[in-house]
Structure 1
Amino acid sequence: MSGSEMTIATEGHAPPARPARPGGAGGRRGGAPRLPARLRRLGLPYLLLLPAVLLELLVHLVPMLIGIMMSFKELTQFYIRDWGSAPWRGLENYRVSIDLNAPVGQDLLNSFLVTCAFSLLAVGLCWLLGTTAAIFMQEDFRGRGLLRAVFLTPYALPVYAAVITWAFMFQRDNGMVNHVLHDQLGLTGERPFWLLGGNSFAALAVVAVWKTWPFAFLIVMAALQNIPRELYEAASIDGAGIWQQIRKITLPSLRPINQVLVLVLFLWTFNDFNTPYLLFGEAAPASANLISVHIYQSSFVTWNFGTGSAMSVLLLLFLLVVTAAYLLATSRGRKTADV
Structure 2
Amino acid sequence: MIRKRLLPRPRSRNLPYLLLLPALVLELVVHLVPMVVGIVMSFKRLTQFFIRDWSAAPWDGLANYRMAVDFHAPVGRALLHSFWVTCAFTVLAVGLSWLIGTAAAITTQDAFRGRGVLRALFLLPYALPVYAAVITWSFMFQRDTGLINHVLHDQLHLVDDKPFWLIGDNSFTALVTVSVWRSWPFAFLTLTAGLQNIPRELYEASALDGAGVWQQIRRITLPSLRPVNLVLVLVLFLWTFNDFNTPYVLFGKSAPEAADLVSIHIYQSSFVTWNFGAGSAMSVLLLLFLLLVTALYLLLTSRRRDTA
Cα offsets for 1:264-304 (capped at 9, x unmatched): 00000000000000110011000000000000000000000
- 1:150 equivalenced with 2:121 (yes/no): yes
User: Which residue is 1:43 aligned to?
Assistant: 14
Cα offsets for 1:308-327 (capped at 9, x unmatched): 00000000000000000000
**1:42 CA drift (Å):** 2.7
2:204 aligned residue (233, 236, 243) = 233
* Alpha-carbon distance in structure 2 between the residues aligned to 1:250 and 1:145: 21
- 1:323 equivalenced with 2:294 (yes/no): yes
- 1:193 equivalenced with 2:164 (yes/no): yes
Q: Which moved more, 1:318-327 or 1:231-240?
A: 231-240
The root-mean-square deviation of aligned C-alpha atoms, in Å, is 1.3
User: Which residue is 2:224 aligned to?
Assistant: 253
Q: Which has the higher contact order (CA 8 A, sep 6+)?
A: 2
**1:171 CA drift (Å):** 0.1
User: Which residue is 1:206 aligned to?
Assistant: 177
SS at match of 1:150: helix
Q: Aligned ranges for residues 129-144 of structure 1 at < 5 Å?
A: 129-144=100-115
* Alpha-carbon distance in structure 2 between the residues aligned to 1:225 and 1:287: 41
User: Which residue is 1:244 aligned to?
Assistant: 215
1:96 aligned residue (59, 64, 67) = 67
Cα offsets for 1:108-145 (capped at 9, x unmatched): 00000000000010000010000111011011211111
2:264 aligned residue (272, 278, 293) = 293
* Alpha-carbon distance in structure 1 between the residues aligned to 2:181 and 2:170: 17
Identity of aligned residues (%): 73
- 1:278 equivalenced with 2:249 (yes/no): yes
Q: Aligned ranges for residues 7-46 of structure 1 at < 5 Å?
A: 40-46=11-17
- 1:182 equivalenced with 2:153 (yes/no): yes
Cα offsets for 1:210-232 (capped at 9, x unmatched): 01100000000011001110111
Q: Tell me which structure has the larger Cα radius of gyration.
A: 1
SS at match of 2:110: coil
* Alpha-carbon distance in structure 2 between the residues aligned to 1:45 and 1:202: 48
**1:43 CA drift (Å):** 1.7
Give the 4+ runs in structure 1 shifted more than 3 A: none
SS at match of 1:221: helix
SS at match of 1:41: coil
For structure 1, the residue ranges without an aligned partner over 5 or more in a row are: 1-26, 29-33
User: Which residue is 2:37 aligned to?
Assistant: 66
SS at match of 2:11: helix
- 1:57 equivalenced with 2:33 (yes/no): no
SS at match of 1:42: coil
TM-score normalised by structure 2 residue count: 0.97
- Code of the aligned partner of 1:94: Y
* Alpha-carbon distance in structure 2 between the residues aligned to 1:232 and 1:213: 26
- Code of the aligned partner of 1:192: P
* Alpha-carbon distance in structure 2 between the residues aligned to 1:138 and 1:148: 10
* Alpha-carbon distance in structure 2 between the residues aligned to 1:323 and 1:42: 33
* Alpha-carbon distance in structure 2 between the residues aligned to 1:40 and 1:239: 59
User: Which residue is 1:24 aligned to?
Assistant: none
User: Which residue is 2:58 aligned to?
Assistant: 87
Cα offsets for 1:13-64 (capped at 9, x unmatched): xxxxxxxxxxxxxx99xxxxx88xxx82232121111111100000000000
* Alpha-carbon distance in structure 2 between the residues aligned to 1:173 and 1:213: 29
* Alpha-carbon distance in structure 2 between the residues aligned to 1:265 and 1:164: 22
* Alpha-carbon distance in structure 1 between the residues aligned to 2:69 and 2:257: 18
- Code of the aligned partner of 1:151: F
For structure 2, the residue ranges without an aligned partner over 5 or more in a row are: none
